[in-house]
Structure 1
């Protein structure tokens, strides 16, 4: 059967140029199924041994839906449409028997697709692709960059879940060379021995900057606007530094801040402090560029990933957007650890920040963002 038109590989250069234009999407179209229909009956998750990757817990902490509609998941998605599909190649040292599996995040179950591929390493390898129709149904021609950002967020969710399970260095590949899979995350058997205790257990490890706790991964959500209140310089520096380290290479990172000294700031050398490099109030312009989301003009701060010039080829476009999604996801977790409300912002039109600052046009586009605000300790009603 021929794939639906919206799921065929696009001319990504042309698609990005159109997504950045002021053209508005047309009416919504049917989104299709909320998850991919994997063949065959579901396979139960076996109990994990003390030296195995617990695939059931890994997926619960990263990709599983926690509501009946399938919209509420640990990894954010534009419009809560969740286009990312996950296929697993399972090797030795996993709770699942070796083989290929498709994951259903709505029902939190796997479907066995076949035997273990040749050369499968120990642990589990997640191959991330997209069903574009889900996002195209609402965002139309603006969907292509959002699909890539969503995939980067999903890769980061798997990375953080693996870290919570005691894996010191999950291997994340976001090279942008292939249209499918867009990203690959390999999770070897954990370095730490002994059972992992899921959220709710008294033995859950406490959060730290280096390794997340399962409970904090399950609790992460995008805060609803408005997001007022300026983050402290220390908190903003921590969020920016996390993003800059995770999304280095094709992207540059800065943040728009408001009074008393509105402007753009960057992490200073060493990342401990902030350096102001442009003066003036940028947040209203960002609100206009972000599909007219007026609340951004009053956000406490807006962290920006900038890059992906007009001359970028398809691998560059994929790589920059995948890394932006990955980095913003990690920065979001850092923001929550510093008591901040945060919301990713992925749709940007005419957002040529470099040209707005007087540089050559077409070189420094806003690729992704994380809006930040403060909240009191009892303000936990986020969705």
Structure 2
């Protein structure tokens, strides 16, 4: 039976997902009886045991919204029309042909294997620097106990926990935790404040909080859930501004390579003060975001969907009218890649959607290519984008 490759791939995916129609099942059975190579191809693809579980996760990808946002481009060719018609299977197809070995059938019917490009995701990696300068490499699943003079430290479940020693005299001891490209980690400070540190970030903090203030220093991005203590305000210091809180949850993104530093408030209330001009300060309410323009030192407040800016903590990328340049600036920190643009137009395409932090960045690149006019070339860990 002569069945084109695209049709049989779609039928195989539906077979694994358990969504075949009676007619498609007849086509599949006849195709399997055709020759041994067909049966080998089917066995290799259908052996993806976890596909259905992964598919349920990938259904959260907001591909429909991405298509609506880019609808004027999608109808420029038949491929995009076919993808829109089969949206429920897009993530599953990409998973089969992007993460696993890509199995192709050539015109002679011979099965051949191609190893796809893999741009691996980051993980739970960080470096903890103790007060005496000792460096501890933190990685997925490790467990250990450490001690400082004012606090006990436990590493467990990808979190660093600090517990202030009872009856001890609080002294000025500082630790630092920093994440590399493609790394993230969490910690609970001695006052109970929880911190999630994103990739390429650094937090310096006392092992125990003495005095009238709780102060930490941040470079990069972190999400805070601050333990309430009305008598001892919590202050996050960055290179550009300070954030003062009593008890609240918020996200700060203050990467040095970005012209903007963002503070997004999820609950409570915070006050931001310009380090160079203390009179330049603003209060934020839940659902608001402050944009700090580094060059002009201007503060601008806007209302936002806070989930867009904190979903990284739950293992997602979320974009809302983000330009290509903004999207790939976020991606390159997690996948540890370099990105180059051929022209200004390539930087300005706009995307909206929510994507899991796939193990392979190529899945995201494939999705972007299918909903845009961008030409994306991957050479090792270097990505070239043209339009």
- TM beyond 0.5: no
Q: Give the structure-2-normalised TM-score.
A: 0.25
After TM superposition, the score normalised by the length of structure 1 is 0.25
Answer 1 or 2: which has greater strand percent: 2
